[in-house]
Amino acid sequence: MQTYDYDVMVIGSGPSGESAALNAAKHNKRAAVIEERPMVGGGCTHRGTIPSKALRHAVKQLMRFNTGRLFREIGHSRQIPYPTALSVATGVIEKQVEMRSKFYARNGIELHMGQASFVDDHTLAVRGADGVTEMLRARDFVIATGSRPYRPEDINFTHPRVYDSDTILDLKHTPRKILIYGAGVIGCEYASIFSGLGIKVELINSFDYLLAFLDDEISVALNYHLRDMGVMVRHREEYERVEATESGISLHLKSGKKLRGDALLWCNGRTGNTDTLNLPAVGLEADQRGQLRVNRQYQTETPNVYAVGDVIGWPSLASAAYDQGRSAAAVSRGKETVRYVDDVPTGIYTIPEISSVGKTEKELTEACVPFEVGRAFFKDTARGQISGEDVGMLKILFCPDTLKLLGIHCFGAEATEIIHIGQAIMKHEGAGNTLRYFITTTFNYPTMAEAYRIAALNGLNRLTGS
Ligand SMILES: Cc1cc2nc3c(=O)[nH]c(=O)nc-3n(C[C@H](O)[C@H](O)[C@H](O)COP(=O)(O)OP(=O)(O)OC[C@H]3O[C@@H](n4cnc5c(N)ncnc54)[C@H](O)[C@@H]3O)c2cc1C
């Protein structure tokens, strides 16, 4: 009979690791978490979701102040330096770390601060900041080590004008013009943030459209609003080389263009954090993106080693990571059926924000699924008019015969919140998933959620031709 220090040892204290450890502990398993940063919370709390969303909130407040009619009367338009806007994130990070540290303490989860690497399939070496290594044994492991920005070798990230999404949080001044290479979710979010601060932005996209996985209409709206905020969006461009000097950055594109700026933010891809884990010791190998393959139970090819969160790739979202961690811990304690997370809403915190669930118009058309569309524009809602947040739209795609909801796409204020109303209805099996819900239910007034009723009526009117 083997003896172990723990039933489950989780490597990484981001959302996926935290939820795995909590789930195990709540079910009376001996759980431990290994974290190489000095504080818990993961990349999510320290470099990703939390600081970027806190920064965005500060920028949104500034934009409201500068564009609101009321504020215009009491003062001139203001600008705030980037480091000042960023400073609001520090307080939020502290609160998150404090709260999450308590979760571990309250649930009897032991924390080991240090870098973990496998010795064999039941032993982990944990090397602390003081250089001391301790050996810990567990029955099962959950790899929840997250990801980091991908850094091409030909770009010098030690140059003070070159940043990625981690190091941009260390920028100590306000650039006049920033070049953002990579127009994925992170690139688009930072383009909104910097332009909201009054900084000139060039956003370089290698593809034909922004965030091509979105419904076309939403992607076009994002493009329009970024341009409206002053962002220069360049599609179908690829970099050839980056020239960083004391006086500025030049980004040479394959098309022959040369873009100049004060700083470069590189947002082109991410790499799984697997290189320090000594994976061969447990018979595993990461792919060329540093990611691990898992089955629908979150098991790697070594059955007592699970992997969750960014380290397994798509969807690489904190939202999904929480659910994946819980599922992996449940399998580890013997539960046979768990939720495999393959159905997640999109939440994109550009300004204005975007959210969607279900199919896009393009996907439905390509699959030859007939659909009808109902739209509500936020400018036509009382709440939008009152709050001044009148940019945006809610669009419902539904089956013209059964009225089943097929997709919901939202752009504008509170999109990431109100999407969940539609998601809840879409989740119903059979007749419960119906557009009729929105016209047979009374919505608070005035609310942004009321857009569902307006969109549903619009869609039904389209069916009857009225
Ligand atoms: C700029 C930005 C904005 C984002 N915005 C959103 C958003 O709005 N919504 C959303 O849902 N998602 C967002 N994400 C994605 C989200 O942050 C990640 O999906 C999430 O952090 C993944 O969680 P995780 O638990 O897999 O890993 P992480 O949060 O990265 O945590 C992994 C932890 O493992 C530790 N670790 C790594 N290797 C070792 C080792 N060998 N030993 C010990 N510890 C180790 C790391 O130090 C880290 O603390 C954003 C990401 C970025 C970069």
Helices (H) and strands (E) in the chain — how many of each? 12, 22
Q: Please report the pLDDT score of residue 407 as a whole number.
A: 98
Res 3: pLDDT: 81
Q: Whose CA is nearest to atom 1 of ligand 1?
A: 48
Tell me how far the alpha carbon of residue 237 lies from the centroid of ligand 1, in angstroms.
28
Q: Residue 286 in contact with residue 292, Cβ under 8 Å?
A: yes
Task: Give the model's pLDDT for residue 75.
Answer: 66
Alpha-carbon distances, residue 396 vs 193, 224, 374, 403 (angstroms): 28, 21, 5, 11
Closest Cα to residue 298, out of 335, 327, 336, 334?
Answer: 327
Percentage of residues in the chain having pLDDT higher than 70: 98
Q: Determine the atom of ligand 1 nearest the C-alpha atom of 53.
A: 8
User: Which of 165, 310, 349, 351 for a ligand 1 pocket mutation test, highest count of atoms within 8 Å of Cβ?
Assistant: 310
pLDDT tens, position by position, 244-266: 999 999 999 999 999 999 999 99
Band the pLDDT of 76: cuts 50, 70, 90. low
Give me ligand 1 centre to Cα 14, in Å.
Answer: 6
Q: Whose CA is nearest to atom 15 of ligand 1?
A: 317
pLDDT > 60? residue 189: yes
Q: How far is the CA of 231 from the centre of ligand 1 (A)?
A: 28
Q: Are 66 and 78 in contact (CB under 8 A)?
A: yes
| CA 450 – ligand 1 centroid, Å | 35
Per-residue pLDDT band at 66 (split at 50, 70, 90): confident
Residues 6+ apart with CB under 8 A from 232: 200, 201, 202, 203
What would the DSSP string read from start to end of 258-324? EEEESEEEE---EEES-TTS-GGGGT----TTS-----TTSB-SSTTEEE-GGGG-TT--HHHHHHH
- pLDDT at site 70: 73
Mutate to test the pocket of ligand 1, among 53, 112, 145 (most ligand atoms within 8 A of CB): 145
Position 47 pLDDT exceeds 80? yes
Compute the distance from residue 179 Cα to the ligand 1 centre, in Å.
Answer: 24
Please give the Cα distance from 263 to 464 (Å, whole number). 55
Q: How far is the CA of 21 from the centre of ligand 1 (A)?
A: 16
The larger pLDDT score, comparing residue 4 to residue 25, is at 25
Q: 83 CA to middle of ligand 1, Å?
A: 23
33's CB contacts (< 8 A; 6+ apart) are 9, 10, 11, 12, 13, 17, 18, 21, 40, 104, 109, 110, 111, 112
For ligand 1, the distance from its centroid to the CA atom of residue 37, given in whole angstroms, is 12
Q: Which of 273, 306, 311, 420 to mutate to test the pocket of ligand 1 (most atoms within 8 A of CB)?
A: 273
Distance separating alpha carbons of residues 344 and 16, to the nearest angstrom: 15
- The closest residue, in CA terms, to atom 7 on ligand 1 is 49
Residue 57: burial class (beta carbons within 10 Å; 0-12, 13-18, 19+):
middle
Burial class (CB in 10 A: 0-12, 13-18, 19+), 370: exposed
Do residues 238 and 253 touch, judged by C-beta distance below 8 A?
Answer: yes
pLDDT of 1 above 60: no
Q: Considering only CA atoms, which residue is closest to atom 14 of ligand 1?
A: 49
Provide the pLDDT for residue 162: 98
- 72, pLDDT greater than 90: no
pLDDT value for 148: 98
Contacts of 180 (CB under 8 A, 6+ apart): 187, 190, 191, 194, 201, 202, 203, 204, 264, 265, 267
The 10s digit of each residue's pLDDT in 110-121 is: 999 999 999 999
Distances (CA, A) of 107 to 111, 211, 308, 365, 395: 11, 40, 21, 50, 43
Q: How many CA atoms lie within 13 A of 115 on its CB side?
A: 11
Pairing status of strand 305-307 against strand 133-143: parallel
Pocket of ligand 1 (CB under 6 A): 11-17, 34-37, 42-44, 48-49, 52-53, 115-116, 144-146, 165, 186, 273, 276-277, 309-311, 316-319, 321, 347, 349
Residue 2 is predicted with a pLDDT of 66
How high is the pLDDT of residue 232? 98
Q: What is the pTM of this model?
A: 0.96
pLDDT in tens, 322-381: 999 999 999 999 998 899 999 999 999 999 999 999 999 999 999 999 999 999 999 999
What is the Å distance from ligand 1's center to 49 Cα? 8
